[in-house]
Structure 1
Amino acid sequence: MKQPITIPPRSGTAFRLEKGDSLTVIDPRGEQVSDLVAFSAADVREAISSGRSLDYASKLYLTTGDAIYSNRSNIMLRIVEDKVGRHDFLLTPCSRETFKIIYRDENPHQGCFGNLEVALAPFGVGPDQIPIAFNCFMNVVIHPATGVFTVEAPLSRPADFIKFRAEMDLVVGLTACSALQSNNHAFKPIAYLVERWAKT
């Protein structure tokens, strides 16, 4: 049986998915966010779009059965199984600037943005092309009257997962998030499993 691949804390990776493949993002220890971005393998200028995905779903929290659309309104991924049910698709990947502004960190980590930038460069994706990520397991709570939001501890428990199916050939970037607030003030690994579609 194929074993999941581990992404060490505060790091990231990138890889290809073919149409029909499944990607399972796993939180091995619980309360750890994973930023996911995806691009069309045929043209990396086509990328996941928070605005279009949330608009077409008419809701802020995507889960089983929901689609993740591209900036060209094509379905890139579909959520086929979700053990948590709370993920974020509003906030941008954390970066050096994030840590300077929010945490007043004078020697900041490069964050998920920097990790994605490095991992995606071999696939021809530049930093200005990195979109708002689908933040697996991130728990952003929005106050309905004011719109004020807070980042709370993820609801994911050890071994919880979210599973996607690729609806086109993709380049995927994936991280183990580097922001303290997002991960209940601890940095932990993320695991993922790619299962190839058996063509007949």
Structure 2
Amino acid sequence: MALKKQRIAPQTGAAFQINAGERLRITDPDGAQVCDLIAFDRRDTRHALSSGRSIDYANNIYLSTGDTLYSNRSEPFFEIERDDVGRHDFLLTPCSPETFALLYDDAPADHPSCFMNLVENLAAYKIEPDQIPTTFNIFMTVGVGADGELSIERPRSKPGDCIELRAMTDLIVGLTSCSAEKSNDGSFGPIDFEVLRDA
């Protein structure tokens, strides 16, 4: 049963609540579009999703079906139950105004960014900018060379591909349709999400 269904327009974001046991389905309707995800414990927003803990406990930088996304207090936030793509990034921070100033030669000063979209949407939950850590970058393909150099590649998601995560505790979730040209193969599309409860 769908409790919430929404389309995130290109280069924008959303924030909402999800209860323990509910599923979050994130779909790429057009293909090759990244979605940044972050989550906070509703009881204490200092308790947040952690890239470092999740990668450490999985012993893998590429998290997929069967893996757990952990918090900074080593508590499970999400279980990945379905993953049509199997390749996501948990290394890079959300793109920000500084990203475009430092890494894009011709970006305008008002270029949309995932960080600012998260800041603006999570403000309703009194989450401050400095609380936003590394996001789980769904559908983003980042290669790691033998020398440690990173390469951003075209997302592998095809139209209609999705990932489903089951919430393990009551959460505040922030999502974006990523704003960085390099992450999305030079174009931008929407992201769809649903909050589902088993019948």
Structure 1: give runs of 5+ residues left out of the alignment.
Answer: none
2: distance between equivalents of 1:120 and 1:109? 19
Match of 1:169 in 2: 170
Q: What is the Cα-based RMSD across aligned positions, in Å? A: 1.2
Q: Structure 1 counterpart of 2:86, which letter?
A: G
| 1:134 equivalenced with 2:126 (yes/no) | no
Q: Detail structure 1 runs of 4+ shifted over 4 Å in the superposition.
A: none
* Aligned pairs (5 A) from 1:49-128: 49-104=50-105, 105-128=107-130
1: distance between equivalents of 2:112 and 2:158? 27
Kindly indicate which of the two structures has a greater share of residues assigned to strand.
Answer: 2
Question: SS of the counterpart of 1:77?
Answer: strand
2: distance between equivalents of 1:108 and 1:93? 16
Quote how far apart the aligned CAs of 1:124 are.
Answer: 1.3
1: distance between equivalents of 2:57 and 2:178? 27
How big is each residue's C-alpha offset from its partner over 1:146-195, in whole Å with a ceiling of 9 and x where there is no partner? 00011000000000000000000000000000000000000100000111
1: distance between equivalents of 2:112 and 2:96? 5
Match of 2:33 in 1: 32
How big is each residue's C-alpha offset from its partner over 1:106-151, in whole Å with a ceiling of 9 and x where there is no partner? 42424000000000011111000001000000000111x2000110
Match of 1:192 in 2: 193
Structure 2: give runs of 5+ residues left out of the alignment.
Answer: none
1: distance between equivalents of 2:40 and 2:113? 20
Quote how far apart the aligned CAs of 1:65 are.
Answer: 0.6
Paired residue total: 197
Question: SS of the counterpart of 1:55?
Answer: helix
Using the size of structure 2 for normalisation, the TM-score is: 0.96
